[in-house]
Amino acid sequence: MTQPSRIGAIIVAWHPDRAQFAGLLQSLQPQVERIVIIDNTQPSIIRHWSESQVQSIEIIEPSSNIGVAAAINQGLERLMTNGFTHALLLDQDSHPAESMVATLLDRMQALESDDHKVAAIGPSLRDRNTGQRVPFVRFRLPMNRRLNLQSGVIASDFLITSGTLVNLEHLPEIGPMREAWFIDSIDLEWCFRARRKGFSIFGCFDTELLHSIGENRRLWSGLSVPVYRHHSPERLYTMMRNRVFLYRSHAPIAWILQDLIRAAGKLFLFSLIRPRCKNLRSMLRGLKDGLLTRPVP
């Protein structure tokens, strides 16, 4: 007899907006059996919010900010230990459409009935800031294939963490997130690893997730363009370090060649944006540590 599907959600929180977080829980609770929240805020704040005092929610409070990767792994382990078959990964600023989880599960099971080994499936993303739909991507040379259909599912090279429905049956073979990477590129690395092991990653156009994609700022005040996604020096460090980790971890050659250009552009741009010297030092230190430090685990 086929094991009935049990879906739990994992939310990694760090200084979340209370109203936005309450809206996420309200939309999510009818769709999953359990919600595991890993509160990386120090000191933890979510347990004190009345919205979280319900039986279907479990809150984990690490003694320090353990990062996104380790937090996800704790949630995955908790769900697997309790017999769940699937895990939905969510950022604190996302908002799933009604019946998103059921739609993702239905499409995953249909693919599996056609003999696809599906590691994960994700919804179409809509940027909360711009209202624009974000396409799925296949990395190719010289240009990527940007996939944006009206309906159906399509094989993709990766999914961003938020909204991803993971088949826990395959997790022991694929492995967990890279905890030492802390935050950036962990979704890319996990998807690349899953595909190397013979699993498929799919995007689903039949449902969507509202998601905040970065903080956009104007490069010059008074002008509406150009804009860039702002990052702190600390975040620039992990971005640069982890992209080099990915270069060293059997990432697709098309992605590496394209990302070398992106890395050079980010290095140039943020050396011009205040705090200039701190940004530049953080990025150069990240590149150095990426080259000299073992990239896994």
Q: Are residues 131 and 223 in the same domain?
A: no
Say which CATH number the domain at 62 has: 3.90.550.10
The three-state secondary structure class of 245 is: helix
Last residue of a domain, one of 209, 244, 279: 209
Q: On the CB side of 10, how many CA atoms lie within 13 Å of its CA?
A: 28
Lowest mean pLDDT among 60-64, 139-143, 227-231, 284-288: 227-231
**Is there a contact between 121 and 202 (Cβ–Cβ < 8 Å)?**
yes
User: Sign of the C-alpha dihedral, residues 157, 101, 210, 189?
Assistant: negative
Last residue of a domain, one of 174, 209, 244: 209
Q: Are residues 116 and 202 in the same domain?
A: yes
- pLDDT of residue 156 exceeding 80: yes
Average pLDDT value over all residues in the chain: 93
Q: Are residues 146 and 83 in the same domain?
A: yes
The predicted pLDDT at position 69 comes to 98
Q: Are residues 220 and 205 in the same domain?
A: no
Is 181 inside any structural domain? yes
Tens digits of per-residue pLDDT, 215-251?
676 666 766 666 778 899 999 999 999 999 999 999 9
The predicted pLDDT at position 189 comes to 97
Give me the residues paired with residue 88 across strands.
9, 165
- pLDDT of residue 212 exceeding 90: no
Q: Which residue has the tokens 């950022």?
A: 91
The predicted pLDDT at position 51 comes to 53
Tens digits of per-residue pLDDT, 38-50?
999 998 899 888 5
Is 172 inside any structural domain? yes
- pLDDT of residue 117 exceeding 90: yes
- pLDDT of residue 157 exceeding 70: yes
Beta-carbon contacts of residue 138 (< 8 Å; ≥ 6 apart): 144, 145, 147, 155, 156, 157
Provide the pairing of β-strand 34-39 with 57-60. parallel
- pLDDT of residue 297 exceeding 60: no
Q: Are residues 18 and 142 in the same domain?
A: yes
* Per-residue confidence band for 36, with pLDDT thresholds at 50, 70 and 90: very high
The predicted pLDDT at position 225 comes to 61
For residue 268, what are the domain limits?
Answer: 216-292
**Is there a contact between 145 and 138 (Cβ–Cβ < 8 Å)?**
yes
Q: Are residues 154 and 269 in the same domain?
A: no
Kindly state the average pLDDT of the residues 125-134.
91
The predicted pLDDT at position 53 comes to 56
The predicted pLDDT at position 3 comes to 77
* Per-residue confidence band for 54, with pLDDT thresholds at 50, 70 and 90: low
Angle at 40 (CA atoms; ends 104, 208), nearest 5 degrees: 20
The predicted pLDDT at position 49 comes to 81
pTM: 0.94
Q: With CA atoms as reference, report the closest residue to 285 among 247, 252, 241.
A: 241
Tens digits of per-residue pLDDT, 249-266?
999 999 999 999 999 999
The predicted pLDDT at position 227 comes to 74
The predicted pLDDT at position 192 comes to 98
The three-state secondary structure class of 173 is: helix
Please report the beta strands in 170-273, taking only residues with DSSP state E, as ranges in sequence order: 200-211, 216-218, 227-229
Is 70 inside any structural domain? yes
H-helix or E-strand containing 153? strand 153-155
Q: Are residues 174 and 282 in the same domain?
A: no
Q: Are residues 201 and 54 in the same domain?
A: yes
Domains identified in the chain, total number: 2
Last residue of a domain, one of 159, 178, 209: 209
Is 1 inside any structural domain? no
The predicted pLDDT at position 280 comes to 98
Q: Residue 4: is the preceding peptide bond cis (ω within 30°)? A: no
The predicted pLDDT at position 205 comes to 98
Distance from CA of residue 139 to its chain's centroid?
A: 18
Higher-pLDDT residue of 211 and 295 is: 211
